[in-house]
Structure 1
Amino acid sequence: MPAKSQAQVLLEKADKKANSPGGWFASSTTKFEEAGDLYQQAANSFKIDKLFKEAGDAHAREAECREKSKESSEAANAWWNAAKAYKRGYPDLAVQALTQTIVHLTQGGRFRQAADREKEIGQIYLQESNDLRKACDSFERAGDWYAQEDATATANACYKDAADLHADLNEYQQAIARYELVADHSLGSALTKYSVKEYWLRAGLCALAMGDPIAAKRNMAKYTSQDTTFASTREAKFINILIEAVEAGDQEMFTGAVVEFDQVTKLDNWKTGMLLKIKRGIQDEPALL
């Protein structure tokens, strides 16, 4: 029979401690504190052996002991450590552990940290499960928590990610509302003002993807009134040409504008996807003679 690993020995000790009857003098709190420490040691030992599922499970059991001994802060930390272990190949379990972490953090009023963990959940949904809807909801929630903690820049980054996902889900009105919110927040600071044209460009593409060049025009007029320098930017000129091409049902004009813009400012995957949607709309609705 192979010798037990150090991690396995510690895990058994932890189980024994957690399940032992309390003595005459030992309080159950002390018992669970000690068991929690042993589970933590076992988890770290599993990590050394690169057994991440076992490490996550040990941290989860540690977290339950911390909860039983009313150590909320330590429980939050243990769940987070479990999530970090589970992230190595077990995304569903990582999300469950992060959700438990957030329960403790919000109860303790630690919304900034809760937002960090919620953002992690969004990234897992996006990268591991490609679940755009759940990722979008997580980024929205994280953004709200960052905003209430005055972490405006981080809130904006989450809202922008949520807006991109709303657009991917064809929820263009929600996407536009989020881009405009982030642009409004960014206008007030010299450091972030330069990025406003990017948000308005994305909002403009969303309006065109809805097949609504009139709304796109109206929004462009509104953006220009908010920042008079916007009209002279490449982004504004690009959207205005696209609006013209869509209204004229002119695919060649549309494609020419896209190629010209891309030569100077490389289009990212999101914009390329949106432009393809808009172009298909032109094909679907030939211009009236």
Structure 2
Amino acid sequence: MAPRSLGEEHLAKAEKKASSSVGWFASSSSKWEEAGDLFQQAANAFKVEKRWSESGAAFEREAACRQHANEMNDAMNAFHNAAKSYKKSEPEAAVTALHQCIKLLVQAGNFRQAADREKEIAGIYAQDGLDVAKARDSFVRAGDWYKQEDANATANQCYQQAAELSAGLQDYQRSMELYQIVADWSLTSPLTKYSVKEYWLRAALCSMATGDLVTTQRLFDTFAKKDVTFPSTREAKFAHELMQACEEGDVERFMAQVYQYDQVTKLDNWKTEILLMIRKALEQEEGGLT
């Protein structure tokens, strides 16, 4: 029989302590505290051994012990540590551990930390396209919590990521709404005001992708009222020319505008993809979009 590793030794001691009965002169709380310490030692030893699943599971056992001992802050940390270990091999298990951490944080009223953990969940789901829809929803939820805690810049970053993912899901309506939220907050700060025209361009493109050009025109009117300089920007002129090409069902005019804009300002992958979607819809329509 192969000798036990250090992680396995600590785990065996932790299991024995957790399953032991409480003596006459000992308290239940001290039993769970000791068991929690042993599970933590086992989890850290497994990390050294790069046995990530075993490490995550041991941290979760630690968290359960901390809860039995009514050490909720330590339980939160244990669930978070479990997620860090699980990320290496079992992303879904990492998400489950983070949800447990968030539950405790919300109960304690620590919404800023809950937002941090929800943002981690979004990152796990977004990585390698594990579940883009869940990533989008987690970014929105994190953004809402950050906004509630007046961390508006971080909230805006989350909403922006959610908007990009929504367009990738072809949920252009939701993407358009989120870009408007991002732009509205960006208008309030001199440091971010310069980026508003980019967000409004993206919102307009999302509107065109839905085929609702009435809403697109309404967006132009709204944006012009919020910033009178917007209609004179390259972004606004580009979007307006595209809308007119869509109204006329003129694919050649549409592509000519895309080519001209790209010569001066290189189109990123996000814009390229949505423009291709709009073009495809144009080619399938007779007489343009309505």
Compute the TM-score of the two structures, normalised by the length of structure 1. Answer: 0.96
1:129 positional shift: 5.0
Q: Which residue of 2 aligns with 1:90?
A: 90
CA distance in 1, matches of 2:98, 2:50: 21
1:162 positional shift: 1.7
1:135 positional shift: 1.4
Residues 96-245 of structure 1: pairs in structure 2 closer than 5 A: 96-128=96-128, 130-245=130-245
Report the residue type matching 1:138 in the other structure.
S
Report the residue type matching 2:94 in the other structure.
A
CA RMSD of aligned residues (A): 1.3
1:245 positional shift: 1.1
- Answering whether residue 10 of structure 2 is matched by residue 10 of structure 1, we say yes
CA distance in 1, matches of 2:130, 2:274: 18
Q: Secondary structure at the match of 2:88?
A: coil
CA distance in 1, matches of 2:57, 2:263: 51
Structure 1 residues 26 and 51, CA, compared in 2 at 3 Å: closer, same or farther?
same
Structure 1 residues 92 and 129, CA, compared in 2 at 3 Å: closer, same or farther?
farther
1:284 positional shift: 1.1
- Decide whether the 8 Å contact of 1:91 with 1:128 is kept in 2: no
Unpaired runs of 5+ in structure 2?
A: none
Q: Secondary structure at the match of 1:9?
A: helix
1:182 positional shift: 1.4
CA distance in 2, matches of 1:6, 1:60: 18
CA distance in 2, matches of 1:87, 1:143: 22
Aligned-residue identity in percent: 56
CA distance in 2, matches of 1:205, 1:90: 37
Give aligned pairs, total: 288
Compute the TM-score of the two structures, normalised by the length of structure 2. Answer: 0.96
- Answering whether residue 55 of structure 2 is matched by residue 55 of structure 1, we say yes
1:128 positional shift: 4.4
Q: Which residue of 1 aligns with 2:246?
A: 246
Q: Secondary structure at the match of 2:25?
A: coil
1:50 positional shift: 0.8
1:12 positional shift: 0.6
CA distance in 1, matches of 2:231, 2:210: 22
Q: Which residue of 1 aligns with 2:36?
A: 36
Q: Which residue of 1 aligns with 2:70?
A: 70
CA distance in 1, matches of 2:249, 2:23: 83
Q: Following TM superposition, where does structure 1 have runs of at least 4 consecutive aligned residues deviating by more than 3 angstroms?
A: none
1:171 positional shift: 2.7
CA distance in 1, matches of 2:72, 2:128: 29
CA distance in 1, matches of 2:130, 2:210: 24
1:281 positional shift: 1.2
Q: Secondary structure at the match of 2:115?
A: helix
